[in-house]
Every structure is written in structure tokens, then in C-alpha cells.
Structure 1
Amino acid sequence: MDTRDVAVFLGLDVGKGEHHATGLTLDGKNVVDKPLPNSEPKMRAMLDKLTAKYGKVLVVVDQPASIGALPLAVARDAGCEVAYLPGLTMRRIADLYPGEGKTDARDAAIIADAARTMPHTLRSIELDDETIAELHMIVGFDDDLAGEVTRVANRLRGLLTQIHPHLERVLGPRIQHPAVLTLLERLGSPKAIRKAGRRRLVTLLRPKAPRMAERLVEDIFTALDEQTVI
């Protein structure tokens, strides 16, 4: 990141209800070092004051999602630059600083100083075209998997309907349940299921469906008794 025109490097160690803010000028002068409530008015007031007094502010966080989302949104809206210092990078940099105790103030100071002295360690939080393309690919892969699961489930239900419609009415709606898949994998046919008997089926299904095993077995045998031909 190009930080040559940044006047204040504001490091935020983000927290659920409160952050700690440390601000350093380009020459290392500490201009902010205090807790900051996770509140838009409080954060906006600090950023506006720093911008008015010093100029461009760069807000750097150690996690950009979840609890770090509001500070970044407020910073962007206030006209500040934003960046992210990856956690692993921060931990390695922290080893170079004196003291071993982990405190919010120490972490915020490390984030601010790393941004000031090692801008190459920072990561942009803006989504570029490449990132969006990667997300599309991941989502597409997810869609493919979901489509394949649906296809296999429908194929299994079709086979059950062809062989034993009564059994399909019991197992079909639960076809993706681990207990039903275990049953079909281990036994595989109405004849084998009936031969196994109630007790063995309950033992087989209980680890996958503790509360449903006995009821499911009774429903299965009721269905098997309703159809005498295969």
C-alpha cells in the first residue's frame, strides 16, 4: 500500500464491545492511545478530529470481519484509508517488540507501528475483480455439489419406488439422513432388511439416529408387511 501521504497510522485492536486505538504520526509521535467503544458516533468523532488536525488517517485492524466490520465501515464513510494486518504477520512482528504480555494497548501499538514502518505487511480490504472471480468459482463449486447430492438422492428414491413403493414412502423423505444411508449401504434390499430383524436394525441405526431409531424401524417393518411382492 502507498502510505506516503498518510498523516496518522491508527491501529485498532478490535474487541466485541470495545477496541483499543493507538495513533502514530509518520515520525512516530503518539497522538492517540485509549480505549474506543464499538460505537459509530465515538469512532466517527475520533476520526474526524484526527483528520481535521493532522490530515489523512489510515485505519488498520487485525481482523476485518465480524467485530472489525463496524470500525472499517465507519472509517471508509469518514473518508479514511483502511487496511488489514494479518494475524500471523502481526504475531511475528510482535516477537520483535519488548515485553511478552498480550494486552489490547500493546497490540494496538504494534499494529500502528507496523503500518508506519512496514507498509508492505498490510493487506487491502477492497474486493478486486480477482477475488470476486474466486468467490464465484467457490460458490459455483458449492452449487455443483448440491446439484449432485440432489441427483443421487432422486436416483435412490427412484430405485426404491421401482422396487418397493411402500418402503420408499418411509425412507424417501429421509433419504439423506445418515441413518437411512447407513441402512441402505449395509443391507441394500427389502429382503436383507427384513432378514436382519428389528433388534439388529435398531442397533445399527441408533448411533446415527438416537431418538428416531426405534420409530424408524417400526415404520420400516410396517411398510415391509404392507407389500408382499418385490
Structure 2
Amino acid sequence: MNERKTQVWAGVDAGKGHHWTAVVDETGATLWSKKVDNDESAILTALGEILDLADEVHWAVDISGTSSALLLALLAAHGQQAVYVPGRTVNRMSGAYRGEAKTDARDAYVIAETARHRNDFTAIDVPAQLAVDLALLTAHRTDLVADRVRMINRLRDVLTGVFPALERAFDYSAHKGALVLLTGYQTPAAIRRRGRARLTAWLANRGVRGADAVAETALAAAQAQQTALPGEDVAAQIVAELAGQLLALDDRMKRIDKQIRETFRSHPQAEIIE
């Protein structure tokens, strides 16, 4: 069992999807180095492991916009304070350490080592109310993302059972136009009856970008399947409902993202961080 240290330094190379965190002791030896998803449960797990390493943890963060909002909020909620190590400083310090290429792990180590050698960095103070607000908003957004993944998987599963060619035609997780299409047309026969020109006009009237390309792809899928499969009518209804719910959920997530940005900008050091 590793001996508990008196103090350690934790460097965080922050990113939108994940952070890389490295922890060093008073000699500069790496005690802990892992990729941590930008997710509440993952951050809390890493926080617990790191706090178990020493009596005192000195945190240093190379902040990148709002991507660090949840991390900073959780640190504040656990009585931990981080200092801000500017990216320019990290780049200069990187030259002092061996390594063939720039990696998240190496940058996190450099951030930790820089904080160990210097004590003149600005502390990031997250007001209690701001920390609570950000934690609530980001946790809610995480729930919405999970709901979206489940709904897309369900939509694809139902659509595969009656119209596999159309299921393969689009990436429904990233194509709003394809979801709009499914709110009105879910079967090969319905798409063929509508025809390319009228389907293009229908999509364009609903704000779909590249409406003609979406219509062309959908019609090609419809031409590839002439057979109506059992359960088609019920499946079409379910797919249409799921597509509508996903579009509404996307709008909710946009509003949450805007609220997170606005809340973050009330941070006293938001301008420096951004």
C-alpha cells in the first residue's frame, strides 16, 4: 500500500470531452495520471482517489473556456482551490521536460510540476452560489445527454425493423434534417409517393439545410426497399414521436448551454479564463 503523502500537486489539462490529470509528489515523481471524462461521476471518482494520496492537494488547471466549469464547481464544493496556469506558461515549461510529442498526459504533468516549483499563480475563486448553479446546470445537461443517447438508440432500433435502408442512410445523432424528415415520413411507400421535388420543398419549409440532398438520400433508400414489413404503421408512429422528442430535446440542450455560458460569465475571473 502506498504511503500517504503530506502534500502533492495535481495538474489538470482541461478539455471539452475529457481532462487529463497528473499528480506529482515533492520530488516530481508521478503518483497518479489518468484521463478523466468531463462527467460528474468520473470527476468525483478521480477527486476521491487523488484526495486519498495526501493530506493536502495543490490543484493547478490549464483552463479552456467553459469546459472546466464542472471541474471547478466540484473542486469548490469539496473545499479544494485551484490556481490558473496560463497555456503560454505551460508551453514554455514543456521545453524543460523530455518527451517526443505533445500529449494530454505530458501537459498535465508539466502543469503539476510548474505549480510545484512556482507559487505565484492566481487562485481561482468560485463563489459558492456560482459553484452550486454550475453544478446543477451541468448535471442536468449530463442527464439530457444520456436521455438523448437512449432515444436515438431506440429510434434506430425501431426504424431498422421496418426500414433498414433509411436507418443506414443518416447519422441521426448529428443530422437535424434527418430527424425532421422522420417527423413526417418513416416508410418507403410514403417517401416514394411524396417524390423528390415535393419532399425537398416540405423539408425546406421546415428549415432543413441541404433539403434536396436529404430528400435524394431518403428517396434512394425508399427505392431500395419495395417491401412493406409487418408492424410498419405502428413503427412509423413510434419513430415520428421519437424524432419529434429528439428535436425538442436538442432545443432544451441549446437553452441549457446558453444558461451555462451566461452563468459562467458571472465568474469574477471569466474574462481571464476565456
TM-score, normalised with respect to structure 2: 0.41
The structure number with the bigger radius of gyration is 1
TM-score by length of 1: 0.49
